[in-house]
Every structure is written in structure tokens, then in C-alpha cells.
């Protein structure tokens, strides 16, 4: 049962449940369509209280050394949700030394892998139990639809931790053939103290992608959450301690990038850093790591992923998935299908249907039933997106629908569709990270491959075709870490995710993610009278 429930992962749930929900007119009737902007009246009171706002260091909630706090805001209104302890260099130092001690003296890397896996499994059970509270906090802090958080994201967190719990006791080194009388083996050892910096778009899922493999492989952690969304990481980390995690193994520092984030990236006692966020910040993180102790870095960065609809594609399904690929999570996905390439033979039909679908998108208070689309996360993002929309109009793309904010409160933006987009327009080149679909026309496969690859990014790609030759050709030629064929945003635990080119370094999820948190030690022992070599 649980397995079936969890198997309703992102893509499927959206392509089935959410999407069909949108189509079910009786379901959506009481909800605001973006075009009928009328009322974003009083925001619904979230069904959850806020219990944890301090830093979590060495198993205890504590104030920041400076005593400072920062406000975390409700994206529906811009009002303060809570004041959260603001971590800075000194707090990072405290957290790192707790993690160092927990690693060097234990018990975490010294307990059996089976014991570690049991704690992760117990945590997953607790996540299930607190599903609705976690989802409500996530929505309140981020602005994403509550139904999306409750049905897709929090279950995916439990699923990911069960996945990594299963890896904990399957970290196998190799025995290796030698060229002489030696016994050679490799040990795959935990790397030590991992620093992790996560973004605000999927706070809990990013927590799971980072914390899951690091703990499963026996490391200890200092995690910095995004300043926009500090709340759920604290809640989840509390549950991990209830599940039996020893103090110091997972430390959470809320705070800002240039202060707490930079302190973590340049810390001399952090053995590894993993960062998810923008390419611009990823570069800084890499440089800080290089300048300090050369800690290895995993980066999961920006994207401008092509979504390619060939002439033989099922157009209705492609429209639906292209819509989902872009608008999911208010367009705030690093893997968003943000360049929709459509073959010229189906282009007009596609644009018309894409526009109709966007106009049907239900925008409103994320706590309201049946809502597909909430506000953007904050005013920075909100304004940046509106600037890109203006740039699209000025560069002569055709604004098919949307293009403006909704209401006068909070950070709601109309689902926006541009057609006749050209490769050299800013909206076709930059990561907008908002609900702005840009539809481009293409004629031939060679051409679309060239254009799709003509970007500094290489995170993901979608291919829609019925032809096996077309699918195979595009799959090999596209320079992207994930290619989804006739599907999109399938994020199963076992599928590796990461970027080519400037979309990042390394892979998260799947067996590949374990490499990020393991050192390989070759052990070579001299043999006397070996029976075989």
C-alpha cells in the first residue's frame, strides 16, 4: 500500500491526478482561473503551528551566536510568518565542530550500516506520520500548492529516505586483480563532514537528495537551508533525532548565502560540499572550496531545458506535459522545460492548445483545494520574472496569454505563454524560473539538436515522438543529464539527476549519488606464497 502510494511520484501524479483534476470542470469551478483574477481574498490560515525556528546544532535547538534573527515571509502576502535564528560564521563553526566530533569520535561512522539504515527507515515512517504538517509548513513557507506538497513531495521524501536506507548496508568496495604478489582491495569510506547548501524551490526534497546519501554512507552533516524557506528542514531534522539520530550528526544552520553559506563553503574542516542553486552562486562555491581546503564539490545548477515536440508526437499529450514541464511549482524548477521546441507542422495547433491550457490553469491560495499554482517565492523572484516578461514583449515574441501579476498582494503571476520565440531572445537563453512558457518552431531534427544544445546549460531534455529512430537519435545527441522520452519530470529515487556543461558537476539520486559521499581507499598488501593471482 505504502509502496503504491509513494510510487505516485511527481510526473505521474501530475500527468494523471493534477492534470486530470485541472480538466475536471466540476472540480475547478469554484477556483480562480488566472484570467478571472477577481479575488485572492483573505489568505486561508495554514493548518500547522511553527515550533522550530532556532538553529539545530549538536542535537539541540539554539539561538545564533549573535542573537540575530531574520523574518521568513508568506509568499501569499509578504507578511512575516516567523523570525528565525540567523546563522553566521560563528554558528557554522559550532556546527562544523559538532559534526567533526560526531564523525571523528562517533558513534555515527562507527555504528553498523544496518543500525544507520534502521534510523533512516524510522525517520521515513515519522515523515509519513507528519505528512500533513510538513506539507502545510512547506506550502506556507514556499507558496506551492498544498496538495502538491502533501501528495507528491512529502511522500517522495519518505520514499527517498527508504531508498537510501537500503543503500546503507550495500556500500561495496572491490577486490582488484594485481600485476604481482599483492592483495588489492578498495574501501569505500565516508568522506567526513559534508557541508550542504539547499535551495528554496523544493526545500524538503532537496533535503532528502542531500541528507539521504550523506547519512547512508556514514558521513556527518552541516546543512544550510535557503533563507526563504528555513522551516521544514528544522522540522524534519527534529524528526530525524526522534528516529534515533545521534547528536551532531545532522546540524541545520538557517541563514544567508554570503554569510553562513560562504563560511561553510570555505571552512577548512568541511571535507565535502554539495550545493544546489544558481550557476552564478555555484561558481562562487567552487572557488571558495578551491581557495580553502580543496574540498570536492557537487553542484546542481541552472538549466534551460529543451522540450522537443516532433511532428509525429501525440499533440494533446505533448501540450499537457509541456505545460506541466514548465508551470509545475510556479515554474520554479531547475529542470523546467523552458524552451518548448515544436515542429512546424504541428506548431499552430500546439500554440493554440498550450495557450488554452495555460488559461485554464487554476491560480490561487495554495491552501485552497484544486489549486495548481500559487505565488512565486518572494519579491526578488517576482520582479525578476516580470522583467523577463517585459523583455519577451520588447523583443517581439508574441504574448499569447498572461504577462502580468495577479492581485495586489503577494507574488502571484499569471501563467504566461510566448510564441514566435527566437533563439537569441533573452527569454530563450536565460533561466527565468517562473511561469513563462516560450514556444519555438523547428523544421528538422539536425536543426533542433543543434539549437537545443546551443546553451551553456545541460540539465535535462524532453523528447516527444513515436519514432524509435528519432527517439534514439535525440537521446544520444542531446547534451543533457536527463532525457525524458514521452514523459517529463520523472524523479524516481533510482534515476540519477545532474548536469552536463554549466548545469553542474556530479549526479544526485541513484547509485551514482553515493560517489559524492565516499572516498576510495586502495589497500595493497604484500602476499607471501599466494595460491593464485
Which sequence positions are flagged as catalytic?
Answer: 300, 334
504 binds another protein (CB under 8 A): yes
6 binds another protein (CB under 8 A): yes
Least Å distance between CB 497 and another protein? 7
Least Å distance between CB 331 and another protein? 21
Strands 182-190 vs 518-526: parallel, antiparallel or unpaired: antiparallel
Grid cell listed for 479: 547534451
Residue among 35 and 278 whose Cβ is closer to another protein: 278
Residue among 25 and 526 whose Cβ is closer to another protein: 526
Residues 6+ apart with CB under 8 A from 260: 86, 87, 88, 89, 91, 92, 224, 253, 254
Least Å distance between CB 302 and another protein? 11
Among 209, 347, 433, 500, binds another protein (CB under 8 A): 500
Site string for another protein, 143-182 (x = CB under 8 A): ----------------x--------------x-xxxxxxx
505 binds another protein (CB under 8 A): yes
Among 145, 255, 410, 498, binds another protein (CB under 8 A): 498
- Name the CA radius of gyration of the chain, rounded: 24
Site string for another protein, 300-339 (x = CB under 8 A): -x--------------------------------------
1 binds another protein (CB under 8 A): no
φ/ψ (deg, to 5) at 507? -130, 140
Q: Output the 3-class SS for 412-431.
A: CECCEEEECCCCCCHHHHCC
Chain positions 243 to 302 lying near another protein, rule: CB under 8 A, are 271, 279, 282-283, 286-287, 289-291, 293-294, 296, 299, 301
Residue 136: its H or E element: helix 131-142
**Given CA atoms 99, 242, 160, 173 in this order, what sign does their dihedral have?**
positive
Residue among 80 and 490 whose Cβ is closer to another protein: 490
Least Å distance between CB 317 and another protein? 9
Least Å distance between CB 526 and another protein? 4
Among 38, 80, 454, 511, binds another protein (CB under 8 A): 511
Residue among 390 and 521 whose Cβ is closer to another protein: 521
DSSP-based three-state secondary structure for 522:
strand
152 DSSP assignment:
I
Residue among 15 and 438 whose Cβ is closer to another protein: 15
Report the distance separating Cα 152 and Cα 141, nearest Å. 17
Number of H helices, E strands in the chain: 19, 20
**Given CA atoms 347, 17, 28, 335 in this order, what sign does their dihedral have?**
negative
Stretch that binds another protein, among 6-14, 195-203, 239-247, 388-396 (CB under 8 A): 6-14
106 binds another protein (CB under 8 A): no
Residue among 8 and 47 whose Cβ is closer to another protein: 8
Least Å distance between CB 185 and another protein? 9
Residue among 9 and 234 whose Cβ is closer to another protein: 9
Stretch that binds another protein, among 128-136, 209-217, 221-229, 522-530 (CB under 8 A): 522-530
Where b means 16+ CB within 10 Å and e means fewer, 112-133 reads ebeebbbbbbbbbebbbebbeb
Report the distance separating Cα 440 and Cα 455, nearest Å. 15
Angle between helices 231-242 and 203-216 (to 10 degrees): 40
Report the distance separating Cα 375 and Cα 388, nearest Å. 17
Grid cell listed for 384: 525578476
Cβ contact 223:252 at 8 Å: yes
Chain positions 453 to 492 lying near another protein, rule: CB under 8 A, are 456, 471, 475-476, 480-487, 490, 492
Chain positions 427 to 456 lying near another protein, rule: CB under 8 A, are 456
Least Å distance between CB 162 and another protein? 11
Site string for another protein, 198-237 (x = CB under 8 A): ----------------------------------------
- Cα of first residue to Cα of last residue in the chain, in angstroms, is 50
Q: Give how far Cα 130 sits from Cα of 52, 127, 176, 369, Å.
A: 15, 5, 46, 20
Residue among 267 and 361 whose Cβ is closer to another protein: 267
Least Å distance between CB 480 and another protein? 7
Among 95, 236, 325, 502, binds another protein (CB under 8 A): 502
Among 197, 493, 514, 517, binds another protein (CB under 8 A): 493
Q: How many binding residues for another protein (CB under 8 A)?
A: 72
Residue among 50 and 284 whose Cβ is closer to another protein: 284
Report the distance separating Cα 145 and Cα 149, nearest Å. 6
- What are all long-range contacts of 463-471, with beta carbons under 8 Å and residues at least 24 apart? 463/308, 463/310, 464/307, 464/308, 464/309, 464/310, 464/313, 464/314, 464/317, 464/318, 464/321, 465/310, 465/312, 465/313, 466/312, 466/313, 466/314, 467/310, 467/312, 470/310, 470/312, 470/445
497 binds another protein (CB under 8 A): yes
Stretch that binds another protein, among 134-142, 201-209, 333-341, 504-512 (CB under 8 A): 504-512
Residue among 56 and 493 whose Cβ is closer to another protein: 493
Among 224, 361, 405, 507, binds another protein (CB under 8 A): 507
Report the distance separating Cα 211 and Cα 516, nearest Å. 12
20 binds another protein (CB under 8 A): no
50 binds another protein (CB under 8 A): no
Cβ contact 357:134 at 8 Å: no
Amino acid at each position: 500500500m505504502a509502496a503504491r502510494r509513494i510510487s505516485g511520484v511527481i510526473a505521474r501524479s501530475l500527468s494523471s491526478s493534477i492534470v486530470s483534476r485541472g480538466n475536471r470542470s466540476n472540480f475547478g469551478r469554484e477556483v480562480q482561473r488566472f484570467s478571472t483574477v477577481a479575488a485572492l481574498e483573505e489568505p486561508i490560515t495554514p493548518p500547522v503551528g511553527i515550533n522550530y525556528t532556532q538553529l539545530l546544532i549538536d542535537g539541540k535547538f539554539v539561538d545564533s551566536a549573535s542573537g540575530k534573527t531574520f523574518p521568513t515571509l508568506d509568499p501569499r502576502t509578504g507578511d512575516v510568518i516567523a523570525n528565525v535564528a540567523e546563522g553566521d560564521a560563528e554558528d557554522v563553526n559550532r556546527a562544523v565542530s559538532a559534526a567533526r566530533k560526531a564523525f571523528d569520535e562517533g558513534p555515527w561512522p562507527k555504528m553498523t550500516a544496518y543500525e544507520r539504515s534502521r534510523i533512516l527507515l524510522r525517520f521515513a515512517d515519522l515523515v509519513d506520520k507528519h505528512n500533513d504538517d510538513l506539507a502545510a509548513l512547506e506550502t506556507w513557507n514556499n507558496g506551492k500548492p498544498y496538495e502538491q506538497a502533501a501528495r507528491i513531495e512529502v511522500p517522495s521524501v519518505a520514499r527517498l529516505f527508504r531508498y537510501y536506507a537500503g543503500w546503507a548496508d550495500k556500500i561495496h568496495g572491490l577486490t582488484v586483480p594485481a600485476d604481482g604478489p599483492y592483495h588489492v582491495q578498495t574501501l569505500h569510506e565516508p568522506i567526513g563532514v559534508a557541508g550542504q547548501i539547499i535551495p528554496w524551490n523544493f526545500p524538503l526534497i532537496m533535503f532528502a537528495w542531500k541528507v539521504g546519501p550523506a547519512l547512508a554512507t556514514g558521513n556527518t552533516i552541516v546543512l544550510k537551508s535557503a533563507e526563504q524557506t528555513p522551516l521544514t528542514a528544522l522540522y524534519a531534522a527534529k524528526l530525524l533525532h526522534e528516529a534515533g539520530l545521534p547528536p551532531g550528526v545532522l546540524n541545520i544552520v538557517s541563514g544567508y548565502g554570503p554569510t553562513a553559506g560562504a563560511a561553510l563553503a570555505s571552512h577548512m574542516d568541511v571535507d565535502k560540499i554539495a550545493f544546489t542553486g544558481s550557476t552564478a552562486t555555484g561558481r562562487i562555491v567552487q572557488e571558495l572550496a578551491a581557495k580553502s581546503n580543496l574540498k570536492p564539490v557537487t553542484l546542481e545548477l541552472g538549466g534551460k531545458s529543451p522540450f522537443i515536440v516532433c511532428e509525429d508526437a501525440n499533440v494533446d499529450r505533448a501540450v499537457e506535459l509541456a505545460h506541466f514541464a514548465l508551470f509545475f511549482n510556479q515554474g520554479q524548477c531547475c529542470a523546467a522545460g523552458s524552451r518548448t521546441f515544436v515542429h512546424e507542422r504541428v506548431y499552430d495547433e500546439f500554440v493554440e492548445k498550450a495557450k488554452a491550457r495555460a488559461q485554464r490553469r487554476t491560480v490561487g491560495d495554495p491552501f485552497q483545494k484544486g489549486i495548481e499554482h500559487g505565488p512565486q517565492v518572494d519579491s526578488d523572484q517576482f520582479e525578476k520574472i516580470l522583467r523577463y516578461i517585459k523583455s519577451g514583449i520588447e523583443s517581439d515574441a508574441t504574448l499569447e496569454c498572461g504577462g502580468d501579476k495577479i492581485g495586489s498582494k503577494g507574488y502571484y503571476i499569471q501563467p504566461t505563454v510566448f510564441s514566435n520565440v527566437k533563439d537569441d531572445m533573452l527569454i530563450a537563453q536565460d533561466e527565468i524560473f517562473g511561469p513563462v512558457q516560450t514556444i519555438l518552431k523547428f523544421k528538422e531534427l539536425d536543426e533542433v539538436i543543434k539549437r537545443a544544445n546551443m546553451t551553456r546549460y545541460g540539465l535535462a531534455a524532453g523528447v516527444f515522438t513515436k519514432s524509435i529512430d528519432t527517439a534514439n537519435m535525440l537521446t544520444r545527441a542531446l547534451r543533457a543529464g536527463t532525457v525524458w522520452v514521452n514523459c517529463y519530470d520523472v524523479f524516481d529515487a533510482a534515476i540519477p539527476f545532474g548536469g552536463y556543461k554549466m548545469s553542474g558537476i556530479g549526479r544526485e539520486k541513484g547509485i551514482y549519488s553515493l560517489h559524492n559521499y565516499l572516498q576510495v581507499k586502495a589497500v595493497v598488501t604484500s602476499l607471501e606464497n599466494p595460491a593464485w593471482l
